[in-house]
Structure 1
């Protein structure tokens, strides 16, 4: 189905679990390459048309340390023609629930990227059936977007 990658940052494993659900769903139609944000340059996404960016939210709505460099590098990139979907884990005890994923979505839009599916916000981890279902639906919607995009182009 095309060149898809997932780039993510996870500390406690919650965002990694989301990534695992998304990757296994996407891999039913196409192989998604997976990278950890803290040891990947943002330029890697230049090789892909469909990019999923995932991050947990640190403190009061901040981008976590592991994702800061990647986030800052995006600011210098032209993302026109690239398609994105952002996801993250967070805790609703905080006012800015899953704000890092929202900040990534805003950044890619500022740089000309197109959003395939609105931000996926997961409460802590996708162990709960409702949270897992949200992840599956998000991945299915991304696959539908990619399929439709391929037909258009």
Structure 2
């Protein structure tokens, strides 16, 4: 039971493989079952992070902070 907790998932992978970053989806599904609140949309990075990935990660962090702040205060 993770009720009241906030989660977010980030992962890296290689689009060469058929199942690209499925661990991100798997973790999100498992966290959902625990009662935890999703803080931000998961981020999947293909190999090394590029500028678009960095922007997605910034949005991810911002979403996590905003969810935390709205939950706490």
Query: Which bracket does the TM-score occupy, shorter chain normalised?
Result: 0.7 to 0.9
* Superposed displacement of residue 105, structure 1: 0.9
- State whether structure 2 residue 66 is matched by structure 1 residue 148: no
* Superposed displacement of residue 148, structure 1: 1.6
The answer for the alignment partner of 1:79 in structure 2 is 2
The answer for the alignment partner of 1:117 in structure 2 is 40
2:55 to 106, 124, 133: 133
* Count of residues paired in the alignment: 73
Distance 1:125 1:142 in 2: 22
Deviation digits for residues 5-46 of structure 1 (CA, Å, limit 9, x no counterpart): xxxxxxxxxxxxxxxxxxxxxxxxxxxxxxxxxxxxxxxxxx
Q: Where do 5+ consecutive residues of structure 2 fail to align?
A: none
Indicate the structure with greater strand content: 1
2:26 to 85, 103, 108: 103
For the residue of structure 1 that corresponds to 2:39, the secondary structure is strand
The answer for the alignment partner of 1:90 in structure 2 is 13
Q: Where do 5+ consecutive residues of structure 1 fail to align?
A: 1-77
TM-score, scaled to structure 2: 0.85
Moved over 3 A (4+): none
Higher relative contact order (CA 8 A, sep 6+): 2
